[in-house]
Chain A
């Protein structure tokens, strides 16, 4: 029995399929530290129906330097699809890190490289049809402050080219040795928008850049 185990172990090592990684799990939750939400939900006088965004180029950092970069790093996080809210990263064993850094959105090179698969598939509802480009961040709902008939707000934030490039970098402190839980403080984000004036963004524009920067600031590790 012992011999068989040794053989199996040796075979695994030499074929390179040994468990070399101890995956770090990343989970996304909607809400800041105090309160978390499941969509559709109400926050104050607002109703939120949809929150969806891209996370890309994930890096784990230590002492301000990257210690691990996730290969092929593109994740669609969709709070209406629980299957997208947690995944394991293929991190190496004994990795030490104190921060996680990622892009909120899709880089410009990917935006001009044609059809992609997986989370980047244009059929995922995060690609503009009438003008090429990924939507980096989507949030939809209603607010009594919105002066339109149905009081709906629709923020589809994207745009990869200057001067309306919306890609943001998020860099947040995490606790080492624990799985990473990233919260999006959606209440703070929505409170930062004057909904009586801005409630409908569906193309690259200066306002989309401003809101993308605000959204990036609403992420934290819980």
Chain B
């Protein structure tokens, strides 16, 4: 069979040969440049020792310094809300473990009160479902919910994108992150994910003990033993959640009448199922439970020992009464406080990126 370039004349061959050489040279240089750029661009996500692989697929959204910064700027920016008053950080403050301290139910736009307590945010790369009822199936899609909720930000992603395109800062931030100023839903959500994935809490005393760099006090050690016996089935180490939804024996609030997972699926067997939250930084993430009904950890421990309501969907782990002595409770509490990660709470790489909006301070 004759090949495509057989019938070419000598002159054509020379011309074509030169073209080919150029093409090869250009593509080699381009490949080199691209690989250099790639090396420089993508960051390695550090999985803490002994932790499972992240659930979030970083191959679909390779971490990049500039994209994390874009996500961080968006996380702190009230531009996401309808009247530009509410940011993610309004209800997820870093100093209180990215939760809304002192608010059983968070308030959003126009002082609207929602129906649930804002959950603590950490180690989201390992989360399989999001929201207290598991309504959101992927970290990328999580920001859509508060942006659109009428009592939170009361906006819409298409409106947010329009505002970002018109803003003074974001076209450049998107260019830094993605190479051009195109502001799309996919880019916006993936940048948010990159920042959220970067929020990792793995530096508590508990972690240091696991790494052999510290030791528990006798009381903490006793508490750890109690924890492993009674709590770890659901609040599984090292993430301190097993990522499931469960009925933890709370009475239904007569005003909120929140049925949890059942609101999403409509199935009776999902009644009163709520996501098992992580206990990392639990010292700071008060108030507790999906509706923030308990202000103090003592009340939470009290609930699990004396307050369990036996209903048809109660978690199997709570069917048998948990009996703890007064000393046991104090020991358990001492252990829970070892889950506080102060470095995480004050890590400036999560804080409001002032320099993005106001430039670098001179000193």
| Cα distance, A53 to B161, chains bound together (Å) | 22
Q: Chain B interface: which of A33-41, A129-137, A172-180?
A: A129-137
Residues of A within 8 A of B (CB): 3, 6-7, 10-11, 13-15, 111-117, 120-125, 127, 129-133, 205
Q: Chain A interface: which of B145-153, B235-243, B330-338?
A: B145-153
| Cα distance, A59 to B12, chains bound together (Å) | 41
What count of chain B residues pass the 8 Å CB interface test?
Answer: 40
Chain A residues with CB under 8 Å of B325's CB are: none
Interface string of B130-148 (1 = CB under 8 A from A): 0000011111110011011
**8 other A-B residue contacts (CB within 8 Å) besides A120-B186, A125-B158, A131-B135:** A10-B16, A113-B60, A114-B61, A117-B184, A123-B161, A123-B184, A124-B185, A129-B157
Measured between C-beta atoms, what is the minimum distance from A143 to chain B in Å?
26
Whether B137 lies near A132 (C-beta < 8 A) is: yes
Whether B186 lies near A121 (C-beta < 8 A) is: yes
Q: A14-B4, A114-B61, A130-B145 given as contacts; is B136 within 8 A of A122 (CB)?
A: no
Whether A205 lies near B266 (C-beta < 8 A) is: yes
Residues of B within 8 A of A (CB): 4-5, 7-9, 11-12, 15-16, 19, 23, 57, 60-61, 135-141, 144-145, 147-149, 156-158, 161, 184-190, 193, 264, 266
| Cα distance, A120 to B7, chains bound together (Å) | 46
| Cα distance, A10 to B199, chains bound together (Å) | 55
Whether A10 lies near B12 (C-beta < 8 A) is: yes
Whether B141 lies near A11 (C-beta < 8 A) is: no
Whether B141 lies near A122 (C-beta < 8 A) is: yes
Most chain B CB inside 10 Å of its own CB: which residue of A115, A124, A127, A130: A115
Which residue in chain B gives the minimum CB-CB distance to A133? B137
| Cα distance, A10 to B185, chains bound together (Å) | 42
Q: A7-B15, A13-B5, A127-B144 given as contacts; is B157 within 8 A of A112 (CB)?
A: no
Which residue in chain A gives the minimum CB-CB distance to B147? A129
Chain A residues with CB under 8 Å of B137's CB are: 111-112, 132-133
| Cα distance, A205 to B58, chains bound together (Å) | 33
Whether B12 lies near A130 (C-beta < 8 A) is: no
Which residue in chain B gives the minimum CB-CB distance to A123? B185
| Cα distance, A113 to B190, chains bound together (Å) | 12
Measured between C-beta atoms, what is the minimum distance from A5 to chain B in Å?
10
| Cα distance, A125 to B159, chains bound together (Å) | 11
Q: A13-B5, A125-B158, A131-B264 given as contacts; is B12 within 8 A of A115 (CB)?
A: no
Which residue in chain A gives the minimum CB-CB distance to B146? A129
Q: A7-B15, A122-B157, A123-B158 given as contacts; is B139 within 8 A of A114 (CB)?
A: yes
Measured between C-beta atoms, what is the minimum distance from A23 to chain B in Å?
23
| Cα distance, A127 to B141, chains bound together (Å) | 9
